[in-house]
Structure 1
Amino acid sequence: MEPTNTTALAQEPDAVPKDAYGQPLPAGFQRVVQALNALGTLWIVALMVLINTDVLGRNLFHAPVRGVTELVSLSIVGIVFLQLADTLHSGRITRADVLLQGLQKKRPVLAALLHAFFHLVGALLMGTILWAAWPTLWESIRMREYVGAIGDFTAPVWPVRVVMLVGLCATLITFVLLALADVRRAARVRQMRATGHGA
């Protein structure tokens, strides 16, 4: 019976890693991303309660809750940005990966580098949006921008813009960390193949 190469077997599952999604982020930052996602989930629950209260108030007491439409429209934007970084980290961002799936089997190094390129482009996009959003935030604070109608219901817009900036920062950092993980994976696969451990 041939001896088993335990080193090769131990490394085989990681010889051609699929991608960087789901890999642990730096501990402190991962907790921040998860906390933002949880906050977004709680926000959704609060919206559900608000909407149902408005429906019950309209139908049972003919007394709708004021400002529900405005709050929902603002909240959707805030929730999306709060949960964006965790959605990206877990690999649930919509993407066309038919080409990458084929490359990961035949050319894993190239697939990892293409993943890195995708994540760097995403980081650049987040950075561009972040840069453009700063002046809008200060202008919103300066002019006391609000939604609703004076005398009925008004809500300031700037808190949601702050939430957007926080979500953008977290997503930008996540994109950069994923790109670094992709580059490390490409180097690891290349090294494994050079030493004869790769698939």
Structure 2
Amino acid sequence: MTDLSPELRPDEAGPAWFRQLRRGVDGVTVALNVAGTLLIFLVMLLVNFDVIGRNFFASPISGVPEMVSMSIVAIVFLQIAQTFRKGRLTRTEAVLGYLERRAPRLRVLLDLIFAAASALLIWQLFAASLPLFNKAWVRGTFEGTVGDFTAPVWPVKLIILIGCAALLVQLVLFAASALFRLIEGKGPES
């Protein structure tokens, strides 16, 4: 059985420096994923405390809807690079599996094209998000209602940039791995 995930194993394609770089980047990606998981746990606690406070003490926690909506965006961007690294993004496995069996080098070439196109898309998202972060930082943009609850927006905008950067690095490393496999004459599974 072959593993179609883009996650690189230490014995996969590329020179030793590349595999070492990949391990370091993967460590950062895992740390971002853990931060996203902790944020999920904190949001869960916050919502539960809000429901308990609202129903049993008639005292809800101010700003819960705003914090939850901002947290959902942060969670997605904290975990997107790990999702890609583990091969859990939506894709057509039937076509890729067929290509892997019939034309493994074509499958690797498609991986390379996919990674390059995805990297361009994520770069555009990063470039479009950067001015939004700057605006939120400079203007002190906040979410909520003055006098009740306010939270600055810039931390979420920063997390979007960090998540885009982490995914971009993963995509570039995935493309480089595919290129090394093409050069070395290896298919998706070495």
- TM-score, normalized by the shorter chain, greater than 0.5: yes
Q: CA deviation at 1:183?
A: 1.9
Q: Which runs of 5+ in 1 are unaligned?
A: 1-12, 193-199
Aligned to 2:48: 52
Aligned to 2:182: 186
Where 2:150 maps in the other structure, the secondary structure is: strand
Q: Displaced runs of 4+ in structure 1, greater than 6 A?
A: none
Aligned with residue 61 of structure 2, among 53, 65, 68: 65
Aligned with residue 104 of structure 1, among 100, 115, 118: 100
**Residues 112, 178 of structure 2: 8 Å contact kept:** yes
Aligned to 1:82: 78
Q: CA deviation at 1:19?
A: 4.5
Distance change >3 Å, CA 49–CA 18, structure 1 → 2? closer
**Residues 55, 64 of structure 1: 8 Å contact kept:** yes
Residues in 2 aligned to 1:98 and 1:138: alpha-carbon distance in whole angstroms:
43
Among the aligned pairs, what percent are the same residue? Answer: 39
Residues in 2 aligned to 1:113 and 1:18: alpha-carbon distance in whole angstroms:
17
Is 1:38 the counterpart of 2:34? The answer is yes
Aligned to 2:7: 22
Q: CA deviation at 1:173?
A: 0.4
Where 2:42 maps in the other structure, the secondary structure is: helix
Residues in 2 aligned to 1:20 and 1:112: alpha-carbon distance in whole angstroms:
12
Is 1:116 the counterpart of 2:112? The answer is yes
Q: How many residues align?
A: 176
Residues in 1 aligned to 2:123 and 2:142: alpha-carbon distance in whole angstroms:
26
Aligned with residue 162 of structure 1, among 117, 142, 158: 158
Residues in 1 aligned to 2:177 and 2:156: alpha-carbon distance in whole angstroms:
31
Q: CA deviation at 1:78?
A: 0.5
Q: Which runs of 5+ in 2 are unaligned?
A: 10-18
Q: Any idea what the Cα deviations from partners look like across 1:124-166, whole Å, max 9, x if unmatched?
A: 1111111111111111112211111000100010010001101
Larger-Rg structure: 1
31-40 vs 175-184, greater mean Cα deviation: 175-184
**Residues 18, 104 of structure 1: 8 Å contact kept:** no
Where 1:155 maps in the other structure, the secondary structure is: strand
